[in-house]
Amino acid sequence: MKYPFIGGIDDDCKVLLIENGYGIAIEHPTIEITGVPERGWNNSSFKNITQEYLANTYGKVANKEHAEFIVGLCKVNGIDFLDDYEGGVMWFNCKCGLLDFYIDKNTASNDGEKLITIPLPPKQIQTATSEEEFEMKQIMKNNGDNLILGCEDSKCEWPQIGDEVIIFNQHNELRGELLALTKEYAIISQHYGEQHLHLSGCKFKKPKTPEEELRDDIVQTIHDDVYHGAYEKQPLVVFADALMTKYNITKKPQ
Whole-number pLDDT of residue 117:
93
Contact 23, 33 (CB under 8 A): no
> What pLDDT is stored for residue 148 in this prediction?
43
First and final CA of the chain: distance in angstroms? 29
Q: What is the pLDDT of residues 4-40, one digit of tens each?
A: 999 998 878 999 998 888 889 999 888 888 888 887 7
- One of 2.30.30, 3.40.50, 3.30.70, 2.70.98 is the CATH number of 130-205, namely 2.30.30
Strand locations in the chain (E): 5-10, 13-19, 22-27, 38-39, 47-48, 57-60, 80-81, 91-95, 98-102, 114-115, 164-168, 173-181, 185-189, 195-199, 203-205
Residues with pLDDT less than 50, the chain: 124-129, 132, 143-155, 231, 233
Give the rounded percent of residues in the chain with a pLDDT score beyond 90.
Answer: 24
pLDDT in tens, 148-176: 444 444 445 778 888 888 877 555 677 78
Q: Helices marked H in 77-209 — which ranges?
A: 105-108, 130-141
pLDDT at position 226 is 55
**Average pLDDT in the chain:** 76
Domain ranges of the chain: 5-115, 130-205, 210-244
